[in-house]
Structure 1
């Protein structure tokens, strides 16, 4: 018996968030092979996202990794380099189950992102048969598009002062699933890069969490891999998606620890 659409399109991240559970994610910037999907799954991550904003992967490479993730049962997102339909629709067509859009500064921009990421009637994403999400099976277009709309996640980066000042309006935009706070860019705009203990950081999370809670949206934590104390604090406040760091940082940290341990033997 062939699997149903809901079985094929199952999104474990959406399910965990719906249960108010914390989602662990990692960022991919270095490893462009399908191995990274298996590594993330074996390590116990709930999801990972490819950071096209800050790496040179091609769309083909990105799609190959996303399709491997689909087969392994770990949802893969993509942070696009620009909030344009030629990026958003193509990474979604290529196998991503969600899109992360950087530097959204207004509700108007948020509505544009939703329009590019969702099929009618929620948006105007171009219909495309034979998607890898559907295992290249054939389904009625209307049924498939509505199911994809339900399972695809639209995540906005809240990393600009303008966005923070309009966070209530942005969080109210229909079709947005999550706001991911970009702590590094936010502190940079304030002129205090890396000063995570500044009271404005906690206030930004508090305001974003409150706005999202009122509108049935989720909140993610970004840029705080070096501060597990703050991650715990903001999770307790209500954030439920945690970006833990990237593959390059993980490799560098583990390699440095091994080298240090060996050099210590000669002392």
Structure 2
């Protein structure tokens, strides 16, 4: 075996998507401790993503959870608030295996996300030395960069009318691995807030799926946690990544169900 070309760093999420296998993800907005990594693993989730867009999540906690996930083979992604390259670099340096960028509306924005995640020559990310994703192994700089860049994921969210109109251009950007449809915001933008089964929302999903299939990118679906029937439909149409819901709704739902058992 040629150890020079065999990656030291594996991204189980990326590998499953490349094989056409579905991946189910749990969103983390509430829990700040590494216990959530073990809970996700035991529940059977292949991935989690830490939502730093819609929470007050501190970077230190996000990094600790990412490292715990990596040890368990649960791929950790982080949804960043926006295209702040220095912040994205910090997220990656803390242990994330990729980022999710909300509200991408142009190919230029998608390219900016790729540049923030990748090192030169593809990107502008500064080399930080030994990386938590590699268990802080001391490797030659070029090998560390190669390992991190081949394993990292860049996910662009399509959740606006503007993004939908140029989805083909976004899907064509080199270095973007997946387009993730945000059904909640997208349905609102299209004038049918919360009506994820509306024909116009369905047409939007199909448009994203077609763009991804044309350019060989993975397809993610979000905002459909309460509609497993729609999730199954889009999986059959080619989707691979499913954002199932977040820890707040999981806890609230289970707590409500438990309380109802005691009249």
| TM band (smaller chain) | over 0.9
Kindly indicate whether residue 60 of structure 2 is the aligned counterpart of residue 60 of structure 1: yes
Q: Take 2:207 and 2:45, find their aligned partners in 1: how far apart are those partners?
A: 27
SS at match of 2:64: helix
Kindly indicate whether residue 70 of structure 2 is the aligned counterpart of residue 80 of structure 1: no
Partner of 1:36: 36
Task: Output one character per residue of 1:14-58: Cα deviation in whole Å (capped at 9) or x when no partner.
Answer: 111111000010100011100000100111000100000011111
Partner of 1:12: 12
SS at match of 2:261: helix
Deviates more, 1:157-166 or 1:196-205: 196-205
Partner of 1:233: 233
1:5–1:147 contact (8 Å) kept in structure 2: no
Partner of 1:129: 129
Q: Take 1:164 and 1:122, find their aligned partners in 2: how far apart are those partners?
A: 25
C-alpha displacement at 1:146, in angstroms? 1.6
Q: Provide runs of 4+ in structure 1 moved above 3 Å.
A: 3-8
Kindly indicate whether residue 103 of structure 2 is the aligned counterpart of residue 103 of structure 1: yes
Once the two structures are superposed, the pairs formed by residues 225-264 of structure 1 within 5 Å of their partners are 225-263=225-263
Runs of 5+ unmatched residues, structure 1: none
Q: Take 1:125 and 1:160, find their aligned partners in 2: how far apart are those partners?
A: 28
TM-score when normalising by structure 1: 0.95
- Residue 54 and residue 8 in structure 1: after superposition, are their counterparts in 2 closer, same or farther (change >3 A)? same
SS at match of 1:103: coil
Q: Take 1:12 and 1:67, find their aligned partners in 2: how far apart are those partners?
A: 14
Please, what is the CA RMSD of the aligned residues?
A: 1.4
Partner of 1:89: 89
2:114–2:176 contact (8 Å) kept in structure 1: yes
2:190–2:200 contact (8 Å) kept in structure 1: no
Task: Output one character per residue of 1:71-128: Cα deviation in whole Å (capped at 9) or x when no partner.
Answer: 2221100000121112211111000001000111000111111111111111111111
Partner of 2:142: 142
Task: Output one character per residue of 1:128-153: Cα deviation in whole Å (capped at 9) or x when no partner.
Answer: 10210111111111121122111000
2:115–2:123 contact (8 Å) kept in structure 1: yes
Q: Take 1:106 and 1:83, find their aligned partners in 2: how far apart are those partners?
A: 12
Deviates more, 1:211-220 or 1:188-197: 188-197
Once the two structures are superposed, the pairs formed by residues 157-196 of structure 1 within 5 Å of their partners are 157-196=157-196
SS at match of 1:169: helix
TM-score when normalising by structure 2: 0.96
Q: Take 1:192 and 1:74, find their aligned partners in 2: how far apart are those partners?
A: 34
2:190–2:201 contact (8 Å) kept in structure 1: no
Partner of 1:69: 69
Partner of 2:211: 211
SS at match of 2:87: helix
Task: Output one character per residue of 1:210-241: Cα deviation in whole Å (capped at 9) or x when no partner.
Answer: 11111110010100111111111111111100
Q: Take 2:132 and 2:212, find their aligned partners in 1: how far apart are those partners?
A: 31
1:158–1:164 contact (8 Å) kept in structure 2: yes
How many residues end up aligned between the 2 structures?
261
